[in-house]
Amino acid sequence: MPILGLDGTTKKRLADGQSKGMAYLKTGSLEGVSSLAGYVQDLSGKRYVLVVIANHPRASAVRGVQDALLKQLIEGR
């Protein structure tokens, strides 16, 4: 799976800061669907499984929410 901020479909996501490299994620999209799933590690070393699926005509707009959730989970801010 692509590593957050380093390669694949997540290369440009949260590429700056402490979140970089802290998650292995798979992205997916179809018309009206956007998804993000994988393994996330916070700064203290605790691991989580994350699954976010948006099914809506404007699902592509959820990317900012996905990134904010990842940042909060990893960095705790």
Average pLDDT over every residue of 50-73 = 95
What are residue 66's DSSP bridge partners?
A: none
Please give the full DSSP string across 23-45, using - where no structure is assigned.
EEEEEEEETTEEEEEEEEE-TTS
Query: Rounded to two decimals, what is the model's pTM?
Result: 0.89
Distance from C-alpha of 44 to C-alpha of 56, rounded to nearest angstrom: 35
Distance from C-alpha of 29 to C-alpha of 36, rounded to nearest angstrom: 9
pLDDT at 62 over 80: yes
pLDDT at 77 over 80: no
For the chain, the structural domain boundaries read 8-75
- The stretches of the chain forming alpha helices (DSSP H) are 63-75
Question: What are the pLDDT digits (tens) for 13-46?
Answer: 999 999 999 999 999 999 999 999 999 999 999 9
